[in-house]
Amino acid sequence: MTPDLMEAGARRLAAYRERQAGVGRQTESGGRQAAYGRLVDVSGPDFAHGVALYLEEVTVSFDGFKALNALSLSIDHGELRCIIGPNGAGKTTMMDCITGKTRPDAGRIFFGSTLDLLRHTETEIAQLGIGRKFQKPTVYEALSVFENLELALRGDRRVRAVLRSRLDGTQLDRLDEVLTLIHMKDQAGRTAGLLSHGQKQWLEIGMLLVQDPKLLLLDEPVAGMTDEETERTAELFLSLEGRHSLVVVEHDMHFVDQLTQGRRKVTVLHEGGVLAEGLLSEVQDNEKVVEVYLGR
């Protein structure tokens, strides 16, 4: 990183720390909502009926092989849903379809009760409020935690231009809120490349959260984490429930147990469709599920 960028970053961090110390702190009201939403020139999703996401008979074929086979699935607004299932069940393909990376051959996908996602591009879908976390963390290693969040907040990848311009108070408040959520407030000035694997994963989740997505898709988020990091990730996701809808794909049953706490629903995918749905204890007792997945 060049000295001028480092200096600009240090200045912003100092301004941020000053605000934390209460120096020149203004009222937090006003403009908050407006600053959260990113502008999209299409009408947004409607969650009034309690539906966050609805897949209707979605089919995806790769050279004749059906990775998704008439998959139907519904997620409630504010729900935290875990999706499990054997390798090749279609879990990642499902996320690819929701985010517009893969176009289904048949079926429909709605965000909220009416917004047809198949009419939108991948970029528009992200702007509409669907954030996706891939397995491998992709943070800017040379930049600080704070600067990584700042770039994500602006949704602009031109590092130099972004780091030279100033953040307004609402934006600084949002960064502070997210740093608190991901428990990384004391790491704000740290170079991201020096973080542990778990911390990089949290930072990347923070980079999604600054944009306040309505729906978060998380594909194997605790792969490679220590037990303690896994536990903290479960706490983080549980704290996001309600304000965000979350779809978490995971093979780690201990993590799924921590997330569902005996009362949240789990969906089991197999061969591109829903094999079972219910409490973790119920699907663990389901003979079909044991046969294709848990009993291996």
* Contact residues for ligand ATP, defined by CB under 6 A: 62, 67, 85, 87-93
Q: Which residue's C-beta sits nearest to Mg ion? A: 92
Query: DSSP letters of 3-60?
Result: HHHHHHHHHHHHHHHHHHTTTT---S-SSHHHHHSPP-SS-----TTSEEEEEEEEEE
Q: Does 148 bind Mg ion (CB under 5 A)?
A: no
- Minimum Å distance from CB 251 to Mg ion? 9
Binding partner selected for residue 62 from ligand ATP, Mg ion, none, CB under the kind-specific 5 to 8 Å limit:
ligand ATP
Whole-number minimum distance, CB 129 to ligand ATP, in Å? 23
Q: Which C-beta is closer to Mg ion: that of 91 or that of 120?
A: 91
Lay out the sheet containing 215-219: strands in order across.
130-133, 215-219, 245-249, 80-84, 266-270, 273-278
Q: Return the number of the residue (147 or 250) whose C-beta is nearest Mg ion.
A: 250
Which of ligand ATP, Mg ion, none sits in contact with 87, Cβ below 5 to 8 A by type? Answer: ligand ATP
Nearest distance, CB of residue 62 and ligand ATP, angstroms? 3
Contact pick of 83, 85, 92, 218 for Mg ion (by CB under 5 A): 92
What is the spatial distance between Cα 58 and Cα 70, in angstroms, rounded to a whole number? 5
How crowded is residue 146: how many other Cβ atoms within 10 Å of its Cβ? 24
3-state secondary structure of 144: strand
* Residue 102 to residue 113: CA distance in whole angstroms: 21
Distances (CA, A) of 100 to 119, 136, 272: 9, 20, 17
Cα–Cα dist 155/42, whole Å: 18
Region binding Mg ion by CB under 5 A among candidate stretches 15-23, 49-57, 88-96, 198-206: 88-96
What span, in angstroms and rounded, lies between the C-alpha atoms of 242 and 149? 22
Which range touches Mg ion (CB under 5 A), out of 60-68, 92-100, 151-159, 187-195? 92-100
- Residues of this chain, 186-245, that bind Mg ion according to CB under 5 A: none
Q: How far is the CB of 225 from Mg ion (least distance, A)?
A: 17
- Chain contacts with Mg ion (rule: CB under 5 A): 91-92
